[in-house]
Amino acid sequence: MEQSAILLWAIVWLVVWGTIGGLVTPRIYARKDLDISQASLGGAAIGAALGPLGLIPLWWKTPQLRNRLLVFSGLIVVGILVIAFALADPDNLCVVNGGFVVSQLTNGIVIGIIYGLMALGLTLIFSILGVVSFAHGEFYMVGGMVVYYLGATPFYESFTAGTERLAENTGGLLGFVNYLIPPLLLLLAACVFTFVVGVIFERIFLRVMNSGAVDRPGEYAILVTFGLAFFLQYLTQALVGANPVKSQRFFDFPRAEIPAESGGLVKMTPGNLTLFDFVSIPNPRFTAALIAILMLGALMWFLYRTWLGKALRAVSQDRQAAAVTGINPDSMNTLAFGMGAMLAGLSGASLVQVFSWLPQVGIPAAARSFVIIVLGGMGSLPGAFLGGLFVGLVEAAGTGCIPDTTRAAAYIPAYGMIILTLVLLLKPTGLFGREL
Amino acid sequence: MSRAALGWILGAIVLLFFLVAPVAVTVSPYIMHLAITAFFYAILASSWSLLAGYGGQFSFGHMAFMAIGGYTSGLIGKFIRFTTAPTELCNDFSLFGNWWLVVLKPRDVGTIRDTCLDLAKTSTMPQGSLIVTPPVWATVLMGVVMGAVFGLLVGGLVLRLRSTYLALFTIGFSEILRAAISAEIPITEGQSGLEMLPLFPGGVSILGQTFNESSKIPPYYVMLFLLIASIALMAWLAGSRFGLFVRAIREDEEAAAALGVNIVRYKVLIFVVTSTLAAAAGAVQAHYIGIITPNILIILQMSLVISMAVIGGLENIYAAAIGAIIIQFMLELLRTSFDIGPFTIDMSLWRLVFFGLLLMVTLRWQRNGLIAPLFDRFTRGNVARETVAKRQVAAVPAEEAPAQSEK
């Protein structure tokens, strides 16, 4: 009891000085006629980090709040929290076992990459259509459902058996490729399906936004995407029922140890990958992260190297100017919505082997994506990716370190909401936001 | 008789029907239950339409405020007692005189042992000391206050920003609340639900007639009067200067701000008012049902309220309320299943698919909803004709005057 009070007092200290810093600093900066866009965040960060020792010189000198200063004080805040936590609960697995911490963090990054991919779809839609799609979670859910139910068809099973036989006959690298074909086809099917649904929806329901046929298009978009979410969720439930399903892992790791017999660096079993003997990554998560990274690479290539991608980015920067140069903004809208839906569908498709899948599974995922895009800055692609990593890390730390495990699991969505609240309070534009 | 007068008379007849029907004829308890639930949804849908249709602020957390009202009322009823002697076993707070405020301790997970008050009654408390449960109206009132407080907190945090942020934040807020209620089993009983006192413990007698606890007639009138009161309040707000400001903000925030409307204050105010109404409805409904579970917070409930408001008419609180009542009855009628050849169609799911589709289609092609246009036919039917006539009158001299002068 005595010790957990330390953590409580540390949090009270951070909150009190953070609040004072966050409230007073913008006033002082405004009085001195300085830039106040960072003042509230900077004041809160420095106040929380150093307390009065930091705030008094800050208010005295009112330096320009550079990012370096903010990151530095942010790190101090994290440091205070970590030390207070370690003092408060010295027997915790997170404090005693360094390997566990690294393992948790690795898993946080692995899952964060997939969160980032999903949020990237949402932010892509927002940057081009100016619309937050409330059906994003449902595309995620549908992607997973397509993979599971296609994978359960008899045709797919015989097809898999065929390719496996082929793989065994050919052997070697070519055999391994044969082995990968069926799951890749499943992913492709999920992508195509969600893309098509997204395109159809955009053509029917969102195309009218730009023609002036609906008044207050922003509000219309919120409601109509929410309606799509409702529709897709219950359509899925009516078609396949509400039992949780989980698909097989896409492929097994080969059994291997590198270097051989060392018990050390890299160890692979069919369901697990162990690095340095203590970082353990389950196969399904690893596969999902690998898919996400490949997809991210493909997306970057598409956005920065192809004509269509450049056209998309042009529309997101300036609709009218893009239209003048011969880009049809309406088709770019359709493409962006379809691609956003596809990215969500692909994240779902790659995670259906990790989590058990329900028609309702999209809601927390969508809520997490909202947190990520607000954190990263609405419409910012790198922001979405970094935000995804950050949220993944925070969730891993939260679930791993909070002693009451059932409660820690129940509150997973809450960690994201705390981040969201802080971002909205301190820096509503997010990390890389362009405008409010 | 003008059409507007006909509209008013029709409205009065409908209202009279709802007021008289349960006492005039014997209505089956099932229909009464449906009616009470329909009124409950009508309050939610019409207050949401005030927020979204008039204010242009899209909250997906309306059900969360409803749950805050219900759970606050239920938790106060469960954990707070007034006694004339300290219990020693619970948390006692001394009040005036020899009265004590007792806060019961949450029970441990997995035990069904007596509460600390039950233990105290037999051991530490003197014989004959009184134990008073807070009255239901007071706990409901506290639920309403709590709804307003949370409305102020959420609104104050998010409404400084664009309206998209409100939608993003409230959807998460609602999910968190659901997670918290499900997880804090010692306090909220989690998924098994928090039991609530009936609205009138021990029955009630009105006008010489006594109704017992399980009678549906008193809750029916409570909910109906709550509906009428909240619609009256909202109609007054919508028609006042405040309503004009709010609509100005909806149409163009920058322009409204430039004309001197304090946009954040009015947005927060309308958010607080509608959240409070939702909390009131939630508290009364929870007491009527007798149990409240975190499942009222699932997105489906929010989707239904939105469908009701949109299909009724987003920019008309009366239409949203009537839409809610009609849809609630339709949802009940569609709770069937039938067979087409070898397939059994479970309508209890397909009806939701249907309403989802109807929501999208209504938004796309009939933005004003399906019921609001009927209203306009009655209440504003003459306005269009009069305007056309006035324009013609105004236009005729202007066109004919030069023609005459040429002659």
A365 at the B interface (CB within 8 A)? Answer: no
Please give the helix or strand (H or E) that residue B26 lies within, else none: none
A436 at the B interface (CB within 8 A)? Answer: yes
> How does pLDDT run across A371-403, given as a tens digit for each residue?
999 888 888 888 888 999 999 988 888 887 777
- Does B363 contact A414 at a Cβ distance shorter than 8 Å? no
Cα distance from N-terminal residue to C-terminal residue, chain B: 44
Q: Which residues pair with B91 in a beta bridge?
A: B103
Please give the helix or strand (H or E) that residue A244 lies within, else none: none
CA diameter of chain A: 78
- Quick one: A302 exposed, middle or buried, by C-beta within 10 A (0-12, 13-18, 19+)? middle
Question: Who among A220, A413, A428 is closest to B176 (CB)?
Answer: A413
**Chain B residue numbers touching A132 (CB-CB < 8 A):** 164, 167-168
User: Considering only residues 212 to 241 of chain A, which have any Cβ-Cβ distance to chain B shorter than 8 Å?
Assistant: 214-216, 218-220, 222-224, 226-235, 237-238
Please give the helix or strand (H or E) that residue A410 lies within, else none: helix A405-410
Residue A306 has pLDDT above 70, yes or no: yes
> What integer pLDDT is reported at residue A201 of this predicted model?
93
Question: Contact, B298 vs B182, CB < 8 A?
Answer: no
> What integer pLDDT is reported at residue A195 of this predicted model?
95
- Does B157 contact A238 at a Cβ distance shorter than 8 Å? no
What b/e sequence results for A94-106 when a residue is b if at least 16 CB atoms lie within 10 Å of its CB, and e otherwise?
bbeeeebbebbbb
Question: Who among B52, B157, B299 is closest to A425 (CB)?
Answer: B157
Token pair belonging to A166: 């082929």
Question: Who among A205, A235, A417 is closest to B172 (CB)?
Answer: A417
Token pair belonging to A11: 């949090």
Please enumerate in sequence order all residues whose Cβ is within 8 A of that of A161, keeping only pairs 6 or more positions apart, or say none. Answer: none
Bond before B397 cis per omega within 30 degrees: no
> How is B131-196 classified by DSSP, letter by letter?
EEPPPHHHHHHHHHHHHHHHHHHHHHHHTTS-HHHHHHHHHHHHHHHHHHHHH-HHHH-GGG-EE-
A371 at the B interface (CB within 8 A)? Answer: yes
> How does pLDDT run across A145-179, given as a tens digit for each residue?
998 888 888 888 788 778 777 777 776 666 677 77
Question: Contact, B91 vs B78, CB < 8 A?
Answer: no
Question: Contact, B53 vs B314, CB < 8 A?
Answer: yes
Rounded-to-integer distance, Cα B240 and Cα B246, Å: 10
- Does A371 contact B172 at a Cβ distance shorter than 8 Å? yes
The SS3 of residue A267 is strand
Helices A39-50, A4-31: crossing angle, 10 deg rounding: 140
Half-sphere exposure of A237 (CA within 13 A, CB side): 24
Inter-residue long-range contacts of A309-313, CB under 8 Å, 24+ positions, other chains counted: A312/A124, A312/A128, A312/A336
Low-confidence winner among A185-189, A360-364, B240-244, B397-401 (lowest mean pLDDT): B397-401
Query: Measured on CA atoms in the order B69, B318, B175, A357, is the torsion positive or negative?
Result: positive
Q: Look at strands B80-83 and B100-103 and give their pairing.
A: antiparallel
- Does A363 contact B299 at a Cβ distance shorter than 8 Å? yes
Question: Who among B310, B360, B364 is closest to A231 (CB)?
Answer: B360
> How does pLDDT run across A109-121, given as a tens digit for each residue?
888 999 999 999 9
**Chain B residue numbers touching A234 (CB-CB < 8 A):** 300, 349, 352-353, 356
- Quick one: B151 exposed, middle or buried, by C-beta within 10 A (0-12, 13-18, 19+)? buried
- Does A238 contact B299 at a Cβ distance shorter than 8 Å? no
Q: Which residues pair with B205 in a beta bridge?
A: B210
Mean predicted lDDT score pLDDT of chain A: 83
Give percent above pLDDT 90 in chain A. Answer: 21
Nearest CA-CA partner of B321 in B3, B22, B48: B48
- The residue type found at A124 is L
- Does B168 contact A374 at a Cβ distance shorter than 8 Å? yes
Nearest CA in chain A to B250: A216
> What integer pLDDT is reported at residue A334 of this predicted model?
92
Give percent above pLDDT 70 in chain A. Answer: 92
H helix intervals, A154-216? 154-170, 172-201
Nearest CA in chain B to A372: B168
Residue A1 has pLDDT above 60, yes or no: no
Q: What does the radius of gyration of chain B's CA atoms come to, in whole angstroms?
A: 26
Query: Measured on CA atoms in the order A87, A88, A91, A96, is the torsion positive or negative?
Result: negative
Rounded-to-integer distance, Cα B369 and Cα B97, Å: 58
pLDDT band at A256 (very low <50, low <70, confident <90, very high): low
Question: Who among A204, A227, A364 is closest to B359 (CB)?
Answer: A227
Give percent above pLDDT 70 in chain B. Answer: 90
Nearest CA in chain A to B351: A234
Rounded-to-integer distance, Cα B109 and Cα B103, Å: 18
Q: What does the radius of gyration of chain A's CA atoms come to, in whole angstroms?
A: 24
Residue A264 has pLDDT above 70, yes or no: no
Question: Contact, A219 vs B52, CB < 8 A?
Answer: yes
H and E: helices and strands count for chain B: 16, 10
The SS3 of residue B252 is coil
- Quick one: A154 exposed, middle or buried, by C-beta within 10 A (0-12, 13-18, 19+)? exposed
Please enumerate in sequence order all residues whose Cβ is within 8 A of that of B76, keeping only pairs 6 or more positions apart, or say none. Answer: B134, B139, B142, B143
Would you tell me how many other CB atoms lie within 10 Å of the CB of residue A317?
12
- CA distances A403 to A4, B34, B44, B177, Å, are 12, 45, 39, 21
Inter-residue long-range contacts of B117-126, CB under 8 Å, 24+ positions, other chains counted: B117/B81, B117/B87, B117/B89, B117/B90, B119/B89, B120/B87, B120/B88, B120/B89, B120/B90, B123/B89, B124/B86, B124/B87, B124/B88, B124/B89, B125/B83, B125/B85, B125/B86, B125/B87, B125/B88, B126/B85
Token pair belonging to B174: 């609602």
pLDDT band at A122 (very low <50, low <70, confident <90, very high): very high
Please enumerate in sequence order all residues whose Cβ is within 8 A of that of A385, keeping only pairs 6 or more positions apart, or say none. Answer: A116, A117, A119, A120, A296, A376
**Chain A residue numbers touching B182 (CB-CB < 8 A):** 410
> How does pLDDT run across A191-249, given as a tens digit for each residue?
999 999 999 999 988 888 877 777 788 888 888 999 999 999 999 988 888 888 887 77
Using 70 as the pLDDT threshold, list the residues of chain B that sit under it.
Answer: 1-4, 108-114, 208, 341-342, 378-385, 395-407
> What integer pLDDT is reported at residue B23 of this predicted model?
76
- CA distances B22 to A335, B19, B206, B221, Å, are 56, 7, 14, 9
H helix intervals, A241-328? 283-305, 307-317, 319-324
pLDDT band at A65 (very low <50, low <70, confident <90, very high): confident
Task: Calculate how close chain B gets to A411, using CA atoms only, in Å.
Answer: 6
Rounded-to-integer distance, Cα A79 and Cα A93, Å: 18
- Does A420 contact B183 at a Cβ distance shorter than 8 Å? no
